[in-house]
Structure 1
Amino acid sequence: MDIRTVIGGLLGLYGIILTITGLVKGSDAHADLWSGICLLAAGTVFLVWVKLRPVKVPEAKDADGSAAGDRTTTA
């Protein structure tokens, strides 16, 4: 789980709520509408970023330099 996924999801959720509020209210300032659209765009950027550049966890090495899962045990 990556923090970018959580941030993108929350920004998207708040963006949806503010966009709907801005459309329903219909005031002249449209602050809710524009804020919601910007939050939706930012949330989309975070979620696309997660898809394009996923986190790569480095493989753990033992003291002898071999990978932790490469060892075979002989009894």
Structure 2
Amino acid sequence: MSARHPDTPASGRKADVLFDIRTVIGGLFAVYGVVCLVWGLVSFTAADRAKTGGVNLNLWTGIGMLLLAAVFIGWTLLRPLHPAEPTAEPTADPTADGEDA
């Protein structure tokens, strides 16, 4: 067994962090946030303005989604996932039960 520093992630842990639910949710919010932001910037017509009372909902929703994505990704980076290390159970000594052979 090789000795490694306790804070050094094992190779399997990179996949754990990548597929952490916070990373997935943050990534999805980032993608949809960019789509809404761009859509709000390029297509806010007079008809849309009349429907929403002058508020560009796609723009503000995109900004909100990007902020929420930043929260989720920041949460993942600041509080990374540390799965429990597998511990070896102590082996039972057959002579320890008190019976003499």
Identical aligned pairs, as a percentage?
Answer: 40
The letter for the 2-side match of 1:23 is: L
Q: State the Cα distance separating 1:39 from its structure 2 match.
A: 0.2
Post-superposition Cα deviations, 1:16-68, rounded to whole Å, max 9, x if no partner, equal: 00000001112432000000000000001101111110000111112218xxx
Within a 5 Å distance, the mapping from 1:41-52 to structure 2 comes to 41-52=67-78
Query: Normalising by structure 1, what TM-score?
Result: 0.79
* 1:19 matched to 2:45: no
Question: Is residue 2:4 matched to residue 1:4?
Answer: no
Paired residue secondary structure (1:23) = helix
Coordinate RMSD, CA, aligned: 1.4
Question: What are the ranges of 5 or more consecutive residues in structure 1 without an aligned counterpart?
Answer: 66-75
Is 2:58 aligned against 1:40? no
Structure 2, unaligned runs of 5 or more: 1-18, 92-101
TM-score (norm 2): 0.60
Aligned residues: 65
